[in-house]
Amino acid sequence: MSYLTSPDAALAADGVSKRYRRGGPDVLDGCGFTVPAGVVCALVGPNGAGKSTLLELAAGLQRPTSGSVTVLGGPPHAGHPKVAYLAQHRPLFTRFTVAETLRLGARLNPGNWDVRLAERIAGPAHFHSKERVGNLSGGERTRIGLALALGKRADLLLLDEPMADLDVLARQELMGLLMAHVADTGTTVVMSSHIISELADTCDHLLLLDEGSTRLCGGIDDVTASHAVVTFAGGPERLAGHTVIESRLVGRGTSALIRPSGAPLPADWEVRTPSLDELVLAHLGTPDTSIPLIKEPAA
Amino acid sequence: MGFDFRIDRRGGIPAYVQIVQQVQQALRLGLLQPGDRLPTARAVVEATALNPNTVLKAYRELESQGLVETRRRHGTFVTGTLGRSSADSPWRAELADVAGRARAAGLERDDLAALFADVLEDLYPSKEPDVVPHQS
């Protein structure tokens, strides 16, 4: 199978598999996709889908067992000057103070460090703090990790569960700063999360992983528009010809989330576009992995 | 002067439609008037945590409705009004006069509405209906 390759891809994978030990399970299994430059991409999938592994591969911290990963047109490597990565477990030097941690960020990214943004994200109260990172709460550690990632002025931000541990207000504040950063710089963001409804407002691209392979990849508007939630009187046999993602009985009728075949839908069907939540849940509820990848439809 | 948009994440109304509606509402209430400046798209993005494209889409929609105008480097300004002056408009009095005579002559409400729609159709060539999706 071949995938769209764009010279402007920020992140691409081609037939990527990853196995951590010989004879172990494939965490990623023939995973392929392209994330165009300049998008804010939601990386979504159930636990164990391979999201964190994929981000580690893109950050150059792991190597694929087979296949290839491309970041910003080249091979990934740890310490890539234009790639920033927020790891799920927020690895920080626990004995450093917050101020020392941020000075380290500046030192590691000479001439390429946005001290004002890092300070705003860390929180002004923390910035000059003598508190050791090891004593911070999970949410505070996340802020410091995000400050390091965004302070770097990267062209590709890889964020693993960036909003975990944060309270509602901090989420709103930090997402606002992240989106403003995107507006200012056009940087590409790939972020994983379990909270799909939250991603719907911030992301414009979707990469849905399941069991180590790509289920959906594309612009969120395109992907939702290429599906339909239909309700009609009669049984599921009326869905013949369409790709049925999920269907259920509703009284004497049927409600289904489908990928229409292209022919006009019957006039007596009630038709609407699914929300991102509905789409993701329906796809994850379907064991059928033969559903082909959504490609960017011609506008 | 400021304008803080509030985005309701649960109502099911797309965020860009909410921005458009909040500006329309402020115009109807006279809280925004021609010449007033809207916050920059970037400021709205930071305050609402919405994807920048969502905010730009809302601003483009307001522009296409003739309600605001974006001047490069200066910002986005209110240029239109919405229905505020309807109560004291001289046109309202004239229309009321015509409608009153039509009713006296025996026209039903629907007859008059159809006639008015017909006249509007002649005067203002109909636009494509896809410009303003008010609901998802």
Q: For residues A154 and A268, give the distance between their C-alpha atoms in angstroms, rounded to a whole number.
A: 51
Give the chain A residue whose CA is nearest to the CA of B7: A201
Q: What is the pLDDT of residue A220?
A: 93
Q: What is the CATH number of the domain that holds B39?
A: 1.10.10.10
Q: If we measure between CA atoms, which residue out of B97, B6, B53 comes closest to residue A219?
A: B53
Domain ranges of chain A: 9-221, 228-272
Range of the domain at B39: 15-78
Q: For residues B32 and A93, give the distance between their C-alpha atoms in angstroms, rounded to a whole number.
A: 51
CB contact under 8 A, B46 and A177: yes
Residues B72 and B115 in one domain: no
How many angstroms separate the CA of residue A1 from the nearest CA in chain B? 32
| Residue A177 forms contact with B (CB below 8 Å) | yes
Residues 6+ apart with CB under 8 A from A287: none
| Residue A184 forms contact with B (CB below 8 Å) | yes
Split into its structural domains, chain B has a count of 2
Q: For residues A126 and A252, give the distance between their C-alpha atoms in angstroms, rounded to a whole number.
A: 60
Residue B43 region, left (φ>0) first, then alpha (ψ -120 to 50), else beta? alpha
CB contact under 8 A, B51 and A177: no
How many angstroms separate the CA of residue A248 from the nearest CA in chain B? 22
Q: What is the pLDDT of residue A207?
A: 95
Please state the rounded mean pLDDT for residues A13-31. 91
Indicate the burial class of A288 (C-beta count within 10 angstroms; 0-12, 13-18, 19 or more): exposed
Q: What is the ipTM of this complex?
A: 0.79
Count Cβ atoms below 10 Å from residue A201 Cβ, excluding itself: 18
Of B9, B42, B46, Cβ closest to residue A201: B9
Tokens for B70, please give them.
Answer: 């974006």
Read off the pLDDT of residues A58-74 as tens digits, 9 standing for 90 and up: 999 999 999 999 999 99
Read off the pLDDT of residues A192-216 as tens digits, 9 standing for 90 and up: 987 787 788 899 999 999 989 999 9
- B68-71/B75-78 β-pairing: antiparallel
CATH number of this structure's domain A9-221? 3.40.50.300
Residues B73 and B100 in one domain: no
Of B41, B46, B49, Cβ closest to residue A201: B49
Contacts of A197 in chain B (CB under 8 A): 9
Strands lying side by side in the sheet with A9-19: A26-36, A9-19, A66-71
Read off the pLDDT of residues A108-160 as tens digits, 9 standing for 90 and up: 888 889 888 888 888 866 655 778 887 778 888 888 899 999 999 899 999 99
Does residue A299 have a pLDDT over 80?
Answer: no
pLDDT band of residue B135 (cuts 50, 70, 90) is: very low
